[in-house]
Amino acid sequence: MLCKRTYKNQVTLPKKIMEDFKDIEYFEAKTQGGRIILEPVKMTSLSDSSLAKARKKIAALGLTEKDIEDAIAWARKD
């Protein structure tokens, strides 16, 4: 299917192609052998992220911001 690049370097993908990617919002774009390749990327919400898990564990351990600062200072000592 034919796609055209706009003056803003945007490409609209045909509806027929996008029907296979209904729940996909983001794509990783790369070039390979003179071709543009789009790979679907599934983004996770913050609640599912490693950061959220770490914050939950810190809260469960009862650690305070001062505890974290002290641990960082201790780790950075020579």
Q: Which of 8, 35, 38, 16 is nearest to 25 (CA)?
A: 38
Considering the domain architecture, whether residues 39 and 51 belong to the same structural domain is answered as no
Task: Say what the pLDDT of residue 43 is.
Answer: 80
> 67 with 75: CB under 8 angstroms?
no
- Point out the residues of the chain with pLDDT beneath 70: 46-48
- Say if residue 6 is in the same domain as residue 32: yes
pLDDT at res. 47: 65
pLDDT for 64 equals 92
Shared domain check, 51 and 32: no
Please, which residues bridge with residue 36 across strands? Answer: 31
- 38 and 27 co-located in one domain: yes
pLDDT of residue 44: 73
**Which pairs with CB-CB distance under 8 Å and at least 24 residues apart come from 24-32?**
none
**Distance linking the first and last C-alpha atoms of the chain:** 61
- In the block, residue with structure tokens 């000592």: 77
Q: What pTM does this model have?
A: 0.52
Asked if residue 65 and residue 51 are part of one domain, the reply reads yes
Number of domains in the chain: 2
**Model pLDDT, residue 52:** 81
